[in-house]
Amino acid sequence: MDQSRAPVLEALVAYHERGDLSFTPPGHKQGRGVDPRVLAVLGEGVFRSDILVTNGLDDRLMTGGVLEDAQQLMAEAVNAQQAFFSTCGSSLSVKSAMLSVAGPGEKLLVARDAHKSVISGLILSGVEPVWVHPRWDADLHFSYPPSPAAVEAAFKAEPDAKGVLVASPTDYGTCADLAGIKQVCVRHDRAFIVDEAWGAHLPFHPQNLPVWGMNAGADVCVTSVHKMGNGLEQGSVFHLQGDRVDPQVLKEREDLLGTTSPSTLLYAAMDGWRRQMVEQGKELLDRAIGLAMSARTAINQIGGLRVLDMETCDAFELDPLKLVIDVSGLGADGYHAADWLRRRAHVNMALSDHRRVSAQITVGDDMDTRNVLVESLRAMAGAGDLPTAAKVALPEPGELELETVMPPRDAFFGRTEQVPIEKAAGRVIAEMATPYPPGAPALTPGERITPAVLRYLRTGLAAGMNIPDVYDPTLRTLRVVA
Closest to ligand PLP by CB, 168 or 376: 168
Q: 132 φ, ψ to 5°?
A: -110, 120
Closest to ligand PLP by CB, 94 or 480: 94
3-state SS assignment for residue 54: strand
Query: Exposure of 415 by Cβ count < 10 A (0-12 exposed, 13-18 middle, 19+ buried)?
Result: exposed
Smallest distance from the beta carbon of 114 to ligand PLP, in angstroms? 7
**Cα→Cα distances 217→31, 58, 177, 181, 376, Å:** 44, 34, 12, 9, 41
How far apart are the C-alpha atoms of 33 and 231, rounded to whole Å? Answer: 26
Contacts to ligand PLP by CB under 6 A: 89-91, 94, 115, 117, 167, 171, 195, 197, 224, 236, 439
Number of other residues whose CB lies within 10 A of the CB of residue 251: 17
Closest to ligand PLP by CB, 7 or 199: 199
Long-range contacts of the stretch 276-285 (C-beta < 8 A, 24+): 276/230, 277/77, 277/201, 277/203, 277/204, 277/229, 278/3, 278/77, 278/204, 279/3, 279/4, 281/201, 281/204, 281/205, 282/204, 282/205, 284/363, 285/201, 285/204, 285/205, 285/208, 285/209, 285/363
Closest to ligand PLP by CB, 174 or 224: 224
Q: E strands within 329-442?
A: 351-352, 356-360, 416-420
Closest to ligand PLP by CB, 30 or 234: 234
Smallest distance from the beta carbon of 257 to ligand PLP, in angstroms? 12
Closest CA to 361 of 294, 311, 272: 294
Specify whether the CB–CB gap between 92 and 86 falls below 8 A. Answer: yes
3-state helix, strand, coil in the chain (%, to 5): 40, 15, 45
Smallest distance from the beta carbon of 118 to ligand PLP, in angstroms? 7
Closest to ligand PLP by CB, 98 or 386: 98
Specify whether the CB–CB gap between 67 and 267 falls below 8 A. Answer: yes
How far apart are the C-alpha atoms of 58 and 56, rounded to whole Å? Answer: 5
How far apart are the C-alpha atoms of 195 and 98, rounded to whole Å? Answer: 10
H or E stretch covering 473: none
Helix axes 247-257, 89-99, angle to 10 degrees: 130
Per DSSP, the residues of 282-333 read: HHHHHHHHHHHHHHHHHHHTSTT-EE--TTT---SEE-TTEEEEE-GGGT--
Query: Which residue sits closest to ligand PLP, CB atoms considered?
Result: 89
Cis, bond preceding 437 (omega within 30 deg of 0)? yes
Smallest distance from the beta carbon of 32 to ligand PLP, in angstroms? 31
Pairing state between β 351-352 and 322-326: unpaired
3-state SS assignment for residue 459: helix
Closest to ligand PLP by CB, 11 or 123: 123
Closest to ligand PLP by CB, 94 or 400: 94
Q: 220 φ, ψ to 5°?
A: -135, 135
Report DSSP state, residue 360.
E
